[in-house]
Amino acid sequence: MPLVIAMDGPSGSGKSSASKGVARALGLRYLDTGAMYRAMTWWMLRAGVPVDDAAAVAARVAEPVIESGTDPDGPTITVDGTDVAEPIRTREVTNAVSAVSSVPAVRERLVALQREIIGTGGIVVEGRDIGTVVAPDAPVKVYLTASEEVRAARRAKDLTADPAASVTVTQAEQARRDRLDSTRTASPLAKAGDAAEIDSTGLSLVEVIEAVVHLAKERD
């Protein structure tokens, strides 16, 4: 199949920066599936839906219109035509997204959208279940990880506008999310059996990008 690079891994592992860099290096499109789940979560919160009530979430899942741009130099995410790139990165959304993304109806709808965007390929797709569920036939699969401390520090840096987002607090919230994401029934966070694992703890962004590009060229 045309080149599809599936980039999975936990929060703070560096998937977004690496995926965009790989897409630029290889002239591919880019899709952040996590942003789609965050967008759905943002909409549920705005609509007053109790996110811990799976039935309530499932009942409203078809309502929001979620659109994702695929330009690695300027990826976009909108809900009902509203740019939500910034509000979906708040702690409120971060701490609620695991509950919403665990609802089978949410995953069914968004996986269908993701596969539609992937289409005939030529894309780097990042998430938690790309190599296992969304694009199991992707010729290049990467599982990107890093130590808990490094991941928490990266995530806290992304949340600098929130004074409560200390590294310690972020690491505790991250551990909770990791646990929820890896134990959920619907498409849990998991490394595909044929994925190459890259630990980015001691690597620079450039080194991670180079490693993935090398894998892509090896398997092209």
Tokens at 158, concatenated: 């992304």
| Nearest Cα to Cα of residue 155 among 90, 59, 83, 72 | 90
| pLDDT attached to residue 166 | 63
**CATH no., domain 4-205:** 3.40.50.300
**Rounded Cα distance, 200 and 14, in Å:** 7
The domain ranges of the chain are: 4-205
pLDDT at 182: 74
Q: Where are the beta strands (DSSP E) in 45-165?
A: 66-68, 77-79, 82-83, 123-127, 140-145
Distances (CA, A) of 96 to 25, 138, 157, 169, 193: 34, 29, 19, 15, 29
Question: Given a cut of 80, is residue 5 above it in pLDDT?
Answer: yes
Find the mean pLDDT for residues 117-134.
95
- Write the pLDDT tens digit of every residue in 74-120: 999 999 999 999 999 998 998 899 999 999 999 999 999 999 999 98
Is pLDDT of 2 > 90? Answer: no
Collapse the DSSP code of 12 into the 3-class scheme (helix H, G, I; strand E, B; otherwise coil) and give the result. Answer: coil
Among residues 154, 151, 107, 152, the alpha carbon closest in space to that of 132 is found at 107
First and final CA of the chain: distance in angstroms? 10
Q: How far is CA 27 from CA 2, 22, 127, 130, 215, in A?
A: 13, 8, 20, 20, 15
Amino acid, res. 116: E
Tens digit of pLDDT for each residue in 28-60? Answer: 999 999 999 999 999 999 999 999 999 999 999
Q: Which H/E stretch holds residue 70?
A: none
- pTM of the prediction? 0.87
Contact indicator for 129, 186 with CB cutoff of 8 Å = no
Query: Which helix H or strand E contains 117, and what residues bound it?
Result: helix 104-118
Task: Report pLDDT digits (tens) over 149-186.
Answer: 888 777 666 654 555 556 677 667 767 777 777 777 77
